[in-house]
Amino acid sequence: MSNPLRHLAIIMDGNGRWAKERGLRRIKGHEAGVETIRRITRYCAEHPEIETLTLYAFSTENWKRPKMEVDYLMYLLERLVHTERKLYAEKGVRFETIGDLSPLSKKLRNTIEETKRITRSHDRLSQVLALNYGGRDEIVRSVRRVLEAGEEINEANITRRLDTPFGDVDLMIRTSGEQRLSNFLLWQLSYAELAFTPTYWPDFSVEELESLIEQYKQRQRKFGGI
């Protein structure tokens, strides 16, 4: 019996190196990466099993990048969230975010909240963008919420107070050849299957995703058992 795949998470890595190898500015890599987000989201919305697609879009550490690049990433995010409403409606995609949105611009936050409102009744796929997100930060904020609610600190309460209500990840993919988690969904990845590909995110195709899913289906998931 093959493994069910309900929650797919992806670290979208390699935009900058993709651009550099082509003699382009890094922002061109980010632009190309947006097109890949569209392709992969459309595929996941049409997949018979996938219910949640979580994409690592901007980490808490990404603020260390040059201001011009950060500003352009914020512009791309705002444009993506706004323009994808047509795809969300066509494919029944619900838009969600995880992470601390407070440092983002008011314009970007308003666009995010409006898109969430517009898509909240969609139930084919939840596309979750991790924005200003860090796994350790999420756990700290979850524990703080548990304490503020006067609840006992245990696994169930911490899980319930996390940013995402979408449950544990089944398969996590990282592109670009790097083989680390980079502070992504540390709690939710506890028993996830991991896959790493040397392909840069702008070149990541539906066909390669299908191949990685097929490999995942053949794995034996033990969840700490025998």
Within the chain, where are the H helices?
15-21, 26-46, 67-83, 85-91, 106-119, 135-148, 155-160, 206-218
- Going by C-beta distance under 8 Å and a sequence separation of 6 or more, which residues neighbour residue 109? 101
**For residue 135, how many other CB atoms are within 10 A of its CB?**
22
Dihedral of the CA atoms 129, 214, 46, 41 (nearest 10)? 20
Give, for 127, the enclosing helix (H) or strand (E): strand 125-133
State the number of CA atoms in the 13 A half-sphere of 25 facing the CB: 8
Which of 3, 62, 157, 183 is catalytic? The answer is: 62
Locus of tokens 């309900």: 6
Mark whether 183 is an active-site residue. Answer: no
CB count, 10 Å around CB of 10?
25
Please state, in angstroms and rounded to a whole number, the distance separating the CA atoms of residues 198 and 212: 12
13 noted as active-site residue: yes
Residues recognised as catalytic: 13, 62
